[in-house]
Amino acid sequence: MKRFFITLLALTAAVATMAQEARQIQVIGHRGGRYEFEENTLAAFKGSYEKGVRGYETDIRMTADGELVILHDASLKRMTDVDMDVEKSTRKEIKKVKTKQGNPILFVDELVDYFRGSDIAYIEWEMKSDNYSEEQLRVYCDKAYKIVMDGKPEGALYLFSSFDHRSLRIMKELHPDAVCMLITGEAMNEKTIETTKSLGLNRVACGVEG
């Protein structure tokens, strides 16, 4: 029995746009390309981009001072050996820490600036927001949308995803034009479809039993 994730993106319009611009997504760099490079670092995104990758997935968390950082885990320990809680630390504090391979911790505005004006086709920005209050989520979602979309290259698809129903609901409430996708470990079935539709979404990354 294997479970794997498939992404049902319903990208008709986006694919048409990319076809017109002679671009295709062939490979998605998960966390920037975590098996080839140190995950979620600028070095990973640069390395993948230089190898021709034009689609990416990454993760967004919020620091104690309201800055948005590119990190999968709530703690820096796995990446740096420093047991620092991201949500309880400031940008200045986090910037003092280097990864195990000597890379700086990457922030969302830095990644957005790197790809600004580039020919990338797609980034999935996963919102890591399970532990946030509703008030924190409103700040988080608003900042994420504004920072990310400010630097979106023309023709690219920037998509916000999450397991957290609340963040998806609030993102759509604050920014109805945001493209969002539900992530779930459930299989593709009627319940999954109805849950996705109830959130006002038409995209879901779901589990498949096989």
State residue 18's pLDDT score.
42
DSSP run (H or E) holding 47: helix 42-50
| For residues 178-186, average pLDDT | 96
> What mean pLDDT is reported for the chain?
89
State residue 207's pLDDT score.
81
Residues 94/69, Cβ–Cβ less than 8 Å = yes
Taking the C-alpha atoms of residue 13 and residue 23, their distance in angstroms, rounded to an integer, is 13
Residues 52/72, Cβ–Cβ less than 8 Å = no
Q: Which of 22-36, 61-75, 162-176 has the lowest mean pLDDT?
A: 22-36
Whether 201 has a pLDDT exceeding 70, the answer reads yes
Whether 8 has a pLDDT exceeding 70, the answer reads no
Tokens of 186: 């459930």
* pLDDT tier, 2 (very low <50, low <70, confident <90, very high otherwise): very low
* pLDDT tier, 209 (very low <50, low <70, confident <90, very high otherwise): low
* pLDDT tier, 171 (very low <50, low <70, confident <90, very high otherwise): very high
Residues 23/121, Cβ–Cβ less than 8 Å = yes
Whether 107 has a pLDDT exceeding 60, the answer reads yes
Residues 57/124, Cβ–Cβ less than 8 Å = yes
Strands (E), the chain: 3-8, 28-30, 55-62, 68-70, 122-127, 157-162, 179-187, 204-209
* Domains of the chain, start order: 3-60+105-209 (3.20.20.190)
Give DSSP secondary structure letters for 106-128: PBHHHHHHHHTTS---EEEEEE-
Taking the C-alpha atoms of residue 144 and residue 110, their distance in angstroms, rounded to an integer, is 13
Percentage of the chain modeled with pLDDT above 90 = 84
Whether 11 has a pLDDT exceeding 90, the answer reads no
pLDDT in tens, 14-50: 444 444 444 555 689 999 999 999 999 999 999 999 9
pLDDT in tens, 114-166: 999 999 999 999 999 999 999 999 999 999 999 999 999 999 999 999 999 99
